[in-house]
Structure 1
Amino acid sequence: MTTIAVLPGDGIGPEVVEAALPILDAVGVGWAVEFGEIGWGCWRREGEPIPSATWDLIERADATLMGAITSKPPREAEAELPADLQGTGRRYASPVIALRRRLGLYANIRPITDLYGADFDFVVIRENTEGLYAGYDYRGLDDDLWNLVGDHPGAVESGRDDTAVALRLQTRSGLDRIFRCAFDRAAAGGFTRVTLADKPNVLRASGELARERFDAIAAEHPEVEAHTANVDAVAMQMVRSPESFGVIVAENMFGDILSDLGAGVMGGLGLASSANVGGRGSLFEPVHGSAPDIAGRGVANPFATILTVGQMLAELGAPDESARVRAAVREAVQHGAVVTPDLGGTASTADAAAEVVRRLG
């Protein structure tokens, strides 16, 4: 039997996960779910945002569904540790990044679909492990980094202790696998165009490597149109003519920005789902954060989590059930009578989810 590790997390995470889980029963897949802890509460209690028991659960499950995670800056994070752990050098690290790295989940898949009509339907694929978010971010530079940037006018004026450098990591192996993922997803989804969104006219060395590998992988897929475009131009076109895209693939930071822009084009983060795939297992999460300002009020939009469950169904071999979930959410959004305040309605989290279950029959 397929087993899903369910990690509700923080803030509105438990609310939207509780509302969305009945979808699995409504479509009749018969999967088992096991709950685990993750996030800020674990950090405050034991100084680990992912307890060892949760890692064990994730390792034995077929996939992981996560609600939302709270993150705070280092000073605030340490201040909320138990007294006996403060001053011990513990540093809060993003559980999502830890999960992606440990499980090798190098691709973040973000569907961008017009739920109010049928004008656009495309996918943003964000590379998860490299790019500007790879973690090579330094303040107070050693000799090697200072030799690279020390002659910049700003660095000369500021000195090495007040100069910071972030490095964009691009590797052939990392690029090849994310581009293969993009073209494979295009073929599987019936898309005829893959666009690499980058900035090769400015980031000349790393951008040229990306473009070379993109062209090489594109040559393996002559049936798909391949196009490289500046990321700022892609952003503008996403707003003006989103129907012109099929699959957009980008490095970590550019993909992060474009996928959130796509959520805005859809109608908001309350409609945005995501999947992290590519290694051992898979991780599914709504794109929105933990939203502590509305946590506990029962007004969080559950549709992003429900669509995430739908995406999980497709990834785990239940495409018909996935299509039913997407259709039910689309009907609920278009009807508009039972939607949460972020979509202009007055419904509660529970009532909005129940409306989708009702439409599933």
Structure 2
Amino acid sequence: MPRFLHTADWQMGRTYSRFEPEDSAALVEARFQAIETLAQLATERQCDAVLVAGDVFDAQTVSDRTIRRVFNATSGFAGPWVMLSGNHDAALVESVWTRAQRLGAVPENVHLALQPGVITLETQGLAVLCAPLTQRHTYGDLTEPFTQYQTPEHLVRVGLAHGGVQGLLAEGIDATNPIAEDRAQTAQLDYLALGDWHGTREINPRTWYSGTPEPERFRNNDAGNALIVSIEGPGDAPQVEVVETARYQWQQWRLSLAVESDLEQLIGRLEALPPATVLDLRLSGEITLAGEDRLNQALSIAEARFRSVRCDRSELQLAPTEDDIAALHADGYLGTVIDALRERQEGEDGESARDALAILASLLKDDNREVQP
């Protein structure tokens, strides 16, 4: 019974310039570790092959070091790897793949699917029908020739392609080339392994997107997995197991604060997250000065625990209560300034007014601490 690992969208060479340098470096390294995890998983689960459905590399211009590290990371699995070119690493006349070959970086057990056709893995019982992208954008269905490909009857027939299933993934796909929803049926495939959609998704029992093994976007699409696919023999239904491979969990929260319980709930959610979290948080609504202190403390703790925390508070207005103002001892002119800043948060320069109010409150708190006996 052939068993193989289906993965895709490694995007090696991707950079994370919007993050702090330390976090960016860790996220880049996690992608190399993901390949090592896949190799280990394939070995432990006694897979016959690893199929990579496109976008191994994020761009044609990745460094030679990145190329070498990618293929070095596959060494944990000695069986055959089949790597398909996708839209980010299309098999151009001169490409990242030709450079890898010139470098001598491609191991003997790695098969590069750079031309349409069939890669026969006789020992493993697999015939892999390949639809590589030979240019970045293609508007025809490159899997259509699968219907004409002849393969030995005793081999399990597996398609390998990169693109968007027609009518299902129009939004959020990277490649423009369409793939017929019923391609597995029309081409008599036992399984169709797809890439481009970065999350795990079943199209039908014989057609799956594996998603990227390590998330790299704030998108709730079940990324960070690989698929272990077992097929008893030609014509039999595939058994697909989703296996989590992600090092980091990417979370994107959009929350509105209105009452104290909203803040309590936010802090509770922060405390429940695992350390390997990349969090993008955007807050709106209102918060008291006392609440702002609690929020700052919670975020400070989170920043030390998590891989990365980015918090946008530009739409979160400070709404000091009477108790807040009394605690600041902001009488007379200072009280008038605070009231003016509170009102200006509603205008075009609301973010500046909010920052000014926060700074003023912080200075007043520091002054009060200094005068206390």
TM-score greater than 0.5 by the shorter chain: no
- TM-score norm. by structure 1 comes to 0.27
* Larger strand share, 1 or 2: 2
Say which structure, 1 or 2, has more relative contact order (CA 8 Å, 6+ apart): 1
* Larger helix share, 1 or 2: 1
